[in-house]
Chain A
Amino acid sequence: MVVDELSDAQVDAMFRALADATRRDIVTRVFSEGVSVSQLALKYEMSFAAVQKHVAILHTAGLVTKQRQGREQIVRGDVRTIQRAQELLARLEDVWTQRVLRMEAVLNAE
């Protein structure tokens, strides 16, 4: 998959996936190293099935990869997709940040 060519539907899924606090937390945990679903389940006060469901949503959004290792499913962050999400948000923020910086420049020029 070419990251720069994510479809609107994929971007939509990505944003919806990241809108949940637990899922954002999972992404943070699996960003640097793979963590099994059962290890993840121990970290949250929710059922194994509920954690599995969160992981499935992150997987559909392309934010994590799943790899079977023996009886375990190892979850890893998909760095490229996460970077794309961050980039979209940063660009959105930048439009208004630049406007506010120009506002201050207009005031200072008076």
Chain B
Amino acid sequence: MKVTTHTDPEALAMTTSAELSASAERAWQLVSDPRKLERWWGPPEWPATFVRFDFEPGGRAHYYMQGPDGERLHGWWKFVSITAQTELFIEDGFADENGEPSGDLGVTTARVTFEPTDSGTRLTILSQYQSLDQLEAMLEMGMEEGMRLAVGQIESILRDEPEGN
């Protein structure tokens, strides 16, 4: 599977797309079933747990991502609009431990669309950010992930290395 991205720095927007090897019906479960959603939303070292999931237009979700040291980062979603197996539009922001919006970093939005193709489902995500401060805060997670992956790779290389080398 090839993931393509297009970034628009002026608009602080980004489009990510890929063709998933599943029907739109199955692909839709990735966003509509919180247990499946938890398996991809957070990086491996920061897995997400959704504790509230009111999957209906205007409904809210509350999740947290837990880091390796037990630190929890809470977030909220608002399901702005839902068109089954076709499009999901959400607002996403930082939350306190009760799932209430917190901080002054504002919201990001994501429009996730699913289009059937001959061999699967075309997935397109349009992410919209509000400010560079917000972007930096979001990126902390991605950077954390990249660094931990790198550390993990170094550890496995060292383990495979024979003694004395």
Contacts and interface: CB of A to CB of B under 8 A. Distances in A.
B4 to A, nearest CB: 9
Interface in A58-110: 85, 88-89, 91-108, 110
B90 interface: no
B16 A97 contact: yes
Interface string B120-144: 0001010101001101101101110
A53 interface: no
A104 to B, nearest CB: 5
B18 A104 contact: yes
Contacts of A92: 7, 14, 129, 135, 138-139, 142
Contact of A101 (B1, B21, B129, B132): B1
B22 A107 contact: yes
B5 A93 contact: yes
Interface stretch (B35-43, B68-76, B77-85): B35-43
A80 B29 CA distance: 43
Given A97-B16, A100-B125, A102-B40, A107 B26 contact: yes
Contacts of B14: 92-93, 96
Interface residues on A, range: 20 to 34
B30 interface: yes
A57 interface: no
A98 to B, nearest CB: 7
A45 interface: no
Interface in B8-67: 9-10, 12, 14, 16, 18, 20-22, 26-27, 30, 36, 39-41, 43
A98 B43 contact: yes
A9 to B, nearest CB: 9
Interface residues of B, number: 36
Interface string A5-22: 000100110011011100
User: What's the dominant secondary structure at chain A's contact region?
Assistant: helix
A101 B5 CA distance: 13
Given A88-B139, A100-B125, A103-B30, 14 more contacts: A8-B132, A89-B7, A93-B14, A96-B127, A97-B16, A98-B142, A99-B41, A100-B1, A104-B1, A104-B20, A106-B36, A106-B40, A107-B21, A110-B26
Interface of A: 8, 11-12, 15-16, 18-20, 85, 88-89, 91-108, 110
Interface of B: 1, 3, 5, 7, 9-10, 12, 14, 16, 18, 20-22, 26-27, 30, 36, 39-41, 43, 123, 125, 127, 129, 132-133, 135-136, 138-139, 141-143, 145-146
